[in-house]
Amino acid sequence: MLRLEIGDRLILKKKHACGGEKWEVWRLGMDIGIKCLKCGRKLKIVRSELKKTVKTIESVLVTE
């Protein structure tokens, strides 16, 4: 199971067309919304497909 939170940063196996490799999670649900941190492009991808393409996850710690 892929556990993600909004704000988590992902590095995918394949780079984006702009050359960016880091993505940020901006939406959770049936599909996951991710945003390229280099060009700002937003994508929605099915959770099962994202799970196959994730290389590393950098979790963001929330302190209250």
Q: Give helix then strand counts, H and E, for the chain.
A: 1, 5
pTM for the predicted model, two decimal places: 0.84
> What count of residues does the chain have?
64
Q: What does each of the 64 residues of the chain score in pLDDT, given as a tens digit? A: 788 999 999 999 999 999 999 999 999 998 999 999 999 999 999 999 999 999 999 887 665 5
Hey, how many other C-beta atoms are within 10 angstroms of the C-beta on 23? 26
Residue 9, SS3 per DSSP: strand
Alpha-carbon distance of 11 to 55, in angstroms, equals: 6
